Structures are given as structure tokens and as C-alpha cells.
Amino acid sequence: MFRPALPFAVALALFAGGCGQRPDDIAVVASAIGGDAKLADPARGELDFAARVMLDSIAQGLVRFDANGGIEPGLAERWIVIDSGRSYIFRLRAAEWPDGTSVTAADVVSSLKRAFEPRSRIAIAPFVAVIDEVVEMTPQIVEVRLKRPRPDLLKLFAQPELAILRRPALAGTGPFRVEPGAGPVLLRPGFDPSRPAEEVEEPDPADNVRLRGERAAKAILRFATRQSDLVLGGTYRDWPLLAHADIAQANVRVDPALGLFGLAIVSRTGFLAKAENREAIAMGIDRIALTALFRPEWQPVETLLPARLDSAGDPAVPEWTALAPEARKATARNRVAAWRSLNPGASLAIRVALPRDPGSTLIWVRIARDLMDMGLRPELVAEDSDADLRLIDAVAPYDSGRWYLVTACQSCPAPLMEAIEAARDAPTLTDRAQRIADADMALTADAAYIPIAQPLRWSLVALRLRAFQPNARAWHPLTHLRERGQ
């Protein structure tokens, strides 16, 4: 069984027990797994998890995620979708920048245009390319016009990457304000000018949040010793560390996250040149044994799409799923043997790109065993190195089959890319749904991606944070931790 590095285990032994339960009338102390919790411009490059939490806390978009992963108002107090999903019209609520000036539609248009321009490097760029223009209709009304109908984009507007920012200072409109001082970032609820004066209350110190970004081992240790109330951003990579922490099961919250967790085919040379051989690897991986290394409830999957979503058909099912597990493994071994006999002396090496962390070590041990059982020679390489297979671990930002197709197809030939682009360019929603279904079938037949499970996402949550809710987006705004009046 995998064991974490000695310093982490020793530290937990030294500090096990800690002090008593943290009181309920003080600021929430939260750790976001990743780098420093610093404000960064999403248009300049992909943000890590801690930076996304920070951005979401001090700068909101037109809409936001609520505790359940649904949509609630952000800067927009209400909105309508017209023209069969080709136009989104948002009415802004009263809001202020940190210097007290009012937020206007012109500010929103400027921020969104910066995010949507060709040189922008926001992580969701491929999925907002459908936006044609953003228009200031009045000082309080913004229209987002699309090239083609998309009635499902509100979850993209709620992503931290589309927060409304005043550049170059990167000022946001809340819901929190950063208080200067040493130590972890102190976030205080911002003033809401849209609320009537008689409803404005003195801020409760327990509504403040002290946020830090840090490595998972430190965050888990801090929670285990009662020095924090919340750890966000846990993945399969750090899950094994929990086995050595004195944390009650009631504090471990696992999200029903939807997305991709599997192996992308990133090289189509040698053994992987043929679809039947790529399919052999998909057959030979023991998904049940792999996911059971983490938790029994982590269910394996065998399809690219988790559900129909916006496709015209149910998820495409590989033909090999009809075989019993032993028959799958035997078929995989036979295909490797047949290829070896036709290509004597050819390399049987399969390079697998994985991060270096406890969870990836477990993944590697299982996958390497399965590849060797097929007759292949597994080689572990760094996650950014040239490889044959690369692990994908990503939560879907919104509920569209096209996100799954684009994300899974990391090294696809032109015909598959054209099938995915056809879904993007479809003139009607009916056509789009059919083209997503066609592309799903094409990728499945090509064995371009090897599904294993849905993403594993977890948090550590103090019992006093009673508003916390696991959800399919695996996103937990810091404004939805405590119940109102708690």
C-alpha cells in the first residue's frame, strides 16, 4: 500500500488531537489547494485552483454559482434569453467598485471583450468562441449576442474566468473585499448598494474568511489540528493523505462531480496506430480495481459522455463492454501478441504521462500492472513530457457534450476534429445535438479516449459550515458556507 512522505505522517502523529472544536463566532479559516491565493488576470493564462477561488471571492461575473452548483444573480439582477438562444440580455443591479464609483454596462462590456478577444488565454476560450459581440444597450443593460443558438451558457458566465474586472488594477465588485494586513488574506463581505438602508446590518465577524493557498499536506494538517474550518480543491492526487489524518468521516465531503477522468491517446504511432489496439488498452484496464484503491464508492465509467446532455443520442457505448472482464483481458493480450508477431522487434513501450503525487502513484501502479499483463512495457514520464497516454482529470464547466469531445480529443486526426467542429458550427440546436451524437460515436469507435471514472473531488468541512453542499460542479463559493442568521 502506498504511504505518504515521512514528514507528513510524522507531523500528523505529533499534532494529532490538536485543540478543541473551533468556535462559531470567528472568521472562517479556509485553505484552497494550490499555489498562493493571489489575484491574477485569467486572460493572461490558466489559473490554478487557489487563484480561481480568490478571483471568485473578490470579483463576480454577471451570474454566479450557488451552493448547489446552480445559477444565481451576480452583477446581473435578472436576465432573459431570446432569439432561440442567440441573445442574452442582462440588467445590472446597483454595484460599486472598491473606490465607490458605480459599475456601468460599459465596464462590463470592456471586461468581457478583454476576456473574449483572440489573444486572451482564458481556460474556457474554446467554448465562448460562439460569442459574436457584447453590446451596451443602456447604462444598466448589456446584451451578449451569439453566432449560433446556445441556451446553455449561463454556467460559463458563472466561471471565475468571466468575472467582471477593472483593469489594469484588477479591481472587482465583491462579494468580498480584501482587508490589508499580514498573514492569510482576510476577506470581508463588501457593501451592497442595491440593498435598502434599513436592511444593511453590521457585518458579523463570522462572515469573514481568512483564505490561504497551500499544498494539500499542509491544508490537511491544518484542518486535522483544528487550525482551519475548510479545505477546498481536493482531488485523487491527494486523497491517499487522508488515510493518515485524524479526521472524522462527517468532515470529508465528496462531490458528485461530472467531467473526465481517463487516458487521452496522445500518440498514434507503433502499437497505438490502429484503433483496435487503442481499444485493447481500454479493455485491459481494470477500472474497478483502480477506483477501489481510493474509495469503494468511486464508480468506474466506460463511456465518454456521462449522460445524454445536449446530444441527440445516449452516450456511445464501446462494443467491448459486452465482454466479461476476463474476456476483455484475454482479447487485449491476443491483440498485443498478434501485433508483435506482425512487427517483430518493434517497441512495445507505452509512455504514460502522470503528475508526481501520492494519488498518481496509485494510478501508475495499477495501470502499469494492467499494461504488463497485456504484454506491453509501461514507462512513466512527467505529465508535460512527450507521451503515448496522458491522464485527463477535469470537471466540466457546463453541461455540453462538446466540452467532453474537445477535452478528450487531445491528439485526434483531422476527420475527428472536423466532426467536433461540425457540432460547434451547427446552425440549429437540433443539428448541433445530432452532430454531437455523431462525434461521440466517431471518437468512441476510434478509441481516442479511455474513460475510467468521473473526477474525484473532495473537501474537508467543519460542521459549523452548515450551508456547504456537494455538487456536480465541485465549486463552493465562500459566500455559501454558513446559513443566513447562523
Cα–Cα dist 35/211, whole Å: 12
SS3 448: coil
For residue 423, being part of any structural domain is answered with: yes
67 and 51 fall within a common domain: no
Of the residues 164, 188, 205, the one at which a domain ends: 164
CATH number, domain of 304, equals 3.10.105.10
Q: What pLDDT was estimated at residue 13?
A: 44
Cα–Cα dist 369/284, whole Å: 10
Length of the chain (residues): 486
Q: Which pLDDT tens digits describe the chain residue by residue (486 residues)?
A: 334 444 544 444 434 444 456 877 889 999 999 998 988 899 888 899 999 999 999 999 999 999 999 999 999 999 999 998 999 999 999 999 999 999 999 999 999 999 988 888 898 988 999 999 999 999 999 999 999 999 889 999 999 999 999 988 889 999 999 988 777 899 999 866 555 544 545 668 888 999 999 999 999 999 999 999 999 999 999 999 999 898 999 999 999 999 999 999 999 999 999 999 999 999 999 999 999 999 999 999 999 999 999 999 999 999 999 999 999 999 999 999 999 999 999 999 999 999 999 999 999 999 999 999 999 999 999 999 999 999 999 999 999 999 999 999 988 999 999 999 999 999 999 999 999 999 999 999 999 999 999 999 999 999 999 999 999 999 999 999 987 655
Residue 2: all three cell numbers together: 502506498
250 and 272 fall within a common domain: no
User: Rounded to the nearest 5 degrees, what angle is found at the Cα of 359, between the Cα atoms of 356 and 362?
Assistant: 100
Of the residues 117, 145, 164, the one at which a domain ends: 164
Cα–Cα dist 197/191, whole Å: 11
For residue 3, being part of any structural domain is answered with: no
- Give the residue from 292, 293, 288, 314 showing the smallest Cα distance to 303: 314
Strand order in the sheet with 377-382: 377-382, 349-354, 389-395, 259-265, 449-453
Are 142 and 107 in contact by the 8 Å Cβ rule? The answer is no
441 and 325 fall within a common domain: yes
Domain extent, residue 158, equals 62-164
For residue 88, being part of any structural domain is answered with: yes
305 and 418 fall within a common domain: yes
Cα–Cα dist 245/220, whole Å: 7
Q: Which amino acid is at 17?
A: G
For residue 147, being part of any structural domain is answered with: yes
Q: What pLDDT was estimated at residue 183?
A: 77
267 and 388 fall within a common domain: yes
For residue 186, being part of any structural domain is answered with: yes
For residue 224, being part of any structural domain is answered with: yes
Are 444 and 304 in contact by the 8 Å Cβ rule? The answer is yes
297 and 426 fall within a common domain: yes
Positive or negative, the CA dihedral 109, 110, 115, 118 is positive
Q: Which amino acid is at 60?
A: Q
72 and 38 fall within a common domain: no
Angle formed by the axes of helices 325-342 and 358-374, to 10°? 70
152 and 192 fall within a common domain: no
145 and 180 fall within a common domain: no
69 and 198 fall within a common domain: no
Q: What is the DSSP letter of 382?
A: E
Cα–Cα dist 350/379, whole Å: 6
For residue 423, the number of C-alpha atoms closer than 13 Å in the C-beta half-sphere is 27
188 and 127 fall within a common domain: no
Q: What pLDDT was estimated at residue 170?
A: 87
Of the residues 127, 145, 164, the one at which a domain ends: 164
For residue 223, being part of any structural domain is answered with: yes
Cα–Cα dist 243/230, whole Å: 18
| Terminal-residue alpha carbon distance, the chain | 43
Cα–Cα dist 217/167, whole Å: 35
Q: What pLDDT was estimated at residue 486?
A: 58
119 and 218 fall within a common domain: no
For residue 9, being part of any structural domain is answered with: no
SS3 29: strand
CATH number, domain of 117, equals 3.90.76.10
Q: What pLDDT was estimated at residue 205?
A: 82
CATH number, domain of 48, equals 3.40.190.10
Are 372 and 248 in contact by the 8 Å Cβ rule? The answer is no
Q: How many domains does the chain have?
A: 3
Cα–Cα dist 73/67, whole Å: 13
